[in-house]
Amino acid sequence: MSINENDITYSVARLFFAYGLGNALFFPFYVGGATILSPDRPQPKHVLEVCTKYRPTLYFGVPTSYNAIVQVKDAEKNYDMSSIRLCASAGEALPGPVWRQWREKFGLEILDGIGSTEILHIYVSNRAGMSRPDSTGTIVPGYEAKIVDENGVSLPPGEVGTLMIKGDSTASCYWNKHEKTKNTFVGEWFNTGDQYSIDKEGYFTYAGRGDDMIKAGGIWVSPVEVENTLMAHPAVLECGVVGSPDVDGLIKPKAYIVFKPDVEVTEKLMEEVKLYVKNTIAPYKFPRWIEAIEELPKTATGKVQRYKLRQLDQQK
């Protein structure tokens, strides 16, 4: 991002998150820049008002916030985002449709990336002018990455496996959690627990957490790929996809969808959405069931808690 002393950063993530700590404190203070801190909840209109009033040059958001802001009617006309030169996203994978809507609405590029508290900040990220929707980008200088199978063997480009990271900012252990430390910190490598693939150009694509992956018909399905496809449908606001057993006990994708407020949710619409996914990606990946939901369960940083959706499904 080439941050410098003339930059003003604004982060929707608070200082008690590693992402917010870097964006709103370490990075701007290191270069002698400035930061914007707001005690209010980062609701869409409040974020837009802060950007208009205080004129940040670097904006750091999370996918849930970006998605909520692009839903604000005429935001590009009623608020001034012209001071911002670059936007960044982390916390969870940024859906391609949100990346495109943001660029269309504000003319701004979002650099999606992934980091963790154990490594303090982002280790894979897109770069200005080279960002790709539905991609987490390339390795950040100073870090090394590899994709491995369940036996720790490195996988070739295109295959999905566990992302391992090596770098000097990595923590040494978890405090008083001996077993978790042994499973996560493997020699010099940190096991992120995230499922990724890498292409021949070095771009990483997120497939989900290890326990979020769905094995449908003996083939692994990435919930993120299905969710990103659903998000491209004009009636869908946000969604979460999990595996659910059919009458024969076979696992198939199931989608929990928050539809846009002005949409009338009908059985016809549900079938239309299913068909849309079936015609867009591999047919076996389409959700066999869709359940409309008012709100998705999320963490404080806006990550969809798929395990809670699985619990909800099991209760039924």
Write out pLDDT tens, residues 236-269: 999 999 999 988 788 899 999 999 999 999 999 9
Q: Residue 132 domain-assigned?
A: no
The residue type of 213 is M
40 in a structural domain: yes
CB contact at 8 A, 164 and 148: yes
Q: Do 91 and 38 sit in the same domain of this protein? A: yes
Q: How many CB atoms lie within 10 A of CB 158?
A: 11
Total residues belonging to the chain: 316
- Same domain flag for 311 and 230: yes
Residue 162, strand partner residues? 148, 195
On the question of pLDDT at 316 being above 90, the answer is no
Query: H or E element: which one contains 230?
Result: helix 223-231
Here the tokens at position 284 are 């076996």
CA distance 236 to 243: 20
CA distance 65 to 52: 17
Give residue 102's domain range.
8-125
Q: Which residues pair with 240 in a beta bridge?
A: 256
The answer to the question of residue 166 being in a domain is: yes
As for how many domains the chain has, the answer is 3
In sequence order, which residues have a C-beta less than 8 Å from that of residue 30 and are 6 or more positions away? none
Place of tokens 């890498």: 198
| 251 and 232, same domain (yes or no) | yes
Interval 210-238: pLDDT, tens: 888 898 877 889 999 999 999 999 999 99
> What would the pLDDT profile of 16-67 be if each residue is shown by its tens digit?
999 999 999 999 999 999 999 999 999 999 999 999 999 999 999 999 899 9
Q: Could you report the per-residue pLDDT of 184-211, keeping only the tens digit for each?
A: 999 999 999 999 999 999 999 999 888 8
CATH label of the domain that carries residue 179: 2.30.38.10
Distance from CA of residue 17 to its chain's centroid?
Answer: 15
The reply to whether 185 and 243 lie within a common domain is no
What residue type is assigned to position 224 of the chain?
Answer: V
DSSP result, 24-86: IIIHHHHHT-EEE---S---HHHHHHHHHHH--SEEEE-HHHHHHHHTSTTHHHHS--TT--E
- CA dihedral 144→149→155→159, nearest 10 degrees, is -110
